[in-house]
Amino acid sequence: MSKKSSLGRGLDALLSRPQSAESSSGTAVQNVRVDRIVQAAYQPRQVFEPEALAELAGSIREKGVLQPLLVRPRGENFEIVAGERRWRAAQLAGLVEVPVLIRDLGDREALELAIIENLQREDLGPLEEARAYQALLDQGLNQEAVAQAVGKGRSTISNALRLLTLPEAALRALEKGEISAGHARAILAQPEEDRTWALDQIRTRRLNVREAEALKRTARTTAPLPVNPPRPYRQVELALSRRTGTKVRITGEDKGRVELNYASREELDRILELLGYAAED
């Protein structure tokens, strides 16, 4: 199988392409016992929701497995390339056998087909999707080729891959569903040193995505520091304080004010006398 056919069309290419009457293990599609089928070493989908699996099992119990699993020979057994969710649901439904399409595939072809088949179904979690893209990049593809293979824009691939740069705590939160992909992108919009802080804010304050996005405008905002007077004025402040026996503050540079504190009428009279003014009765 050429890379173009496997990457460009995924599992549909294998199912729709005319097949020879015999494959390496017999007819093109055949029934195989579920206990002779094993999981692949790499599975893009890490989470199988029990409720969704039970729902699929109910459908399979009623209508059977409508689309065969794609498998490859592994000794006496068969390794799943695509269709692990159907295989799990079929076991829940009590099926002894499932229809399979058997193909002799190399490790790289099997990996690429497994990833792309899952990506084309568009029901992976955000981290599962990002890791699947990264696995394809690890196989030597570039982002443009990955985008073409899964029928998505390159920016979609790039944005998904950025999720893998989240802090470890945020990765765990995203994987557990404690935050959404939108929350994760809001965290990534923060300066690197503020990302763990942003995650804590989202969790403790139960922020929605829009509120989380607003954190990037307020995270590093602090009240303006008071302007200290130039050093010469500070010396004058000290000198006047010693002379008057009260606190003196000078604000501004070219223009400003001089403030003297007093606690009573008597203290004000004393200060005025020191400055050469006689208090009026």
Same domain? 12 vs 118: yes
User: Residue 129 catalytic?
Assistant: no
Q: Give the 3-state secondary structure of residue 151.
A: coil
Asked if residue 116 belongs to a domain, the reply is yes
Q: From its phi and psi, is residue 79 left (phi > 0), alpha (psi between -120 and 50) or beta?
A: beta
Residues 143 and 189 in one domain: no
On whether both 101 and 47 belong to a single domain, the answer is yes
78-to-33, 44, 91, 107, 228 alpha-carbon distances in Å:
10, 18, 16, 14, 77
Of 116, 150, 184, the residue that ends a domain is 150
Residue 200 lies in a domain: yes
Residue position matching structure tokens 């990037």 = 216
Q: Is the pTM of this model over 0.75?
A: no
DSSP letter at 280 equals P
- The answer to the question of residue 42 being in a domain is yes
Please list the pLDDT of the chain residue by residue as tens digits (281 residues): 444 444 544 445 544 443 433 444 444 789 999 999 998 877 667 667 788 888 889 999 999 998 899 999 988 999 998 888 899 899 999 999 999 999 988 887 888 888 777 777 656 788 888 988 898 888 888 999 888 877 889 999 999 999 999 999 999 999 888 999 999 999 999 999 999 999 999 999 899 999 999 986 554 555 454 555 555 677 787 777 777 777 788 877 677 788 887 777 777 878 787 777 765 55
111 and 203 belong to one structural domain? no
Say which residues have a Cβ less than 8 Å from residue 107's Cβ, sequence separation at least 6.
none
- Classify 250 as helix, strand or coil: strand
What burial letters (b/e) apply to 36-66, b meaning 16+ CB within 10 Å? ebeebeebbbeeeeeeebeebbeebeeeebe
Contact 37, 106 (CB under 8 A): no
160 lies in some domain: no
Same domain, 23 and 111: yes
Structural domain total, the chain:
3
Same domain, 16 and 139: yes
- Whether residue 201 sits in one domain with residue 87: no
How far apart CA 219 and CA 214 sit, in angstroms, is 9
Q: What is residue 186's predicted lDDT score, i.e. its pLDDT?
A: 94
- Supply the DSSP symbol for 34: G
Same domain (yes/no): 8, 139: yes
Q: Which residues contact 81 (CB under 8 A, 6 or more apart)?
A: 40, 69, 70, 71, 72, 103, 105, 110, 113, 114, 117
Whether residues 84 and 199 fall in one domain: no
| Separation between Cα atoms, residue 147 and residue 41, nearest integer Å | 24
Residue type for position 156:
T
Kindly state whether residue 179 falls inside one of the protein's structural domains.
yes
Residue in 9, 165, 11, 229 with CA at minimum distance from that of residue 103: 11
Helices (H), 139-264: 143-150, 154-162, 168-176, 181-188, 195-205, 209-218, 231-244
Which residue matches tokens 């409720």?
A: 51
CATH number of the domain at 206, please: 1.10.10.2830
Tell me: do 71 and 104 sit in the same domain.
Answer: yes
Range(s) of the domain holding residue 47: 3-150
pLDDT value of residue 72: 92
Instruction: Please name which of 98, 87, 102 lies closest in space to residue 43, comparing C-alpha atoms.
Output: 87
Residue type, 143: Q
| Domain end (from 150, 181, 201) | 150
Q: Would residue 174 count as lying in a domain?
A: yes
In a domain, residue 21? The reply is yes
Task: From the candidates 84, 109, 112, 117, give the one annotated as an active-site residue.
Answer: 84
pLDDT of residue 43: 67
Q: What pLDDT does 18 receive? A: 39
Domain CATH code at residue 121: 3.90.1530.30
Q: What's the CA dihedral at 127, 129, 134, 138 to 10 degrees?
A: 130
With beta carbons less than 8 A apart as the criterion, state whether 87 and 65 touch.
no
Is 226 part of a structural domain of the chain?
Answer: no
Same domain, 214 and 243: no
135 and 22 co-located in one domain: yes
Residue 4: per-residue pLDDT: 44
**What letter does residue 83 receive in the DSSP assignment?**
-
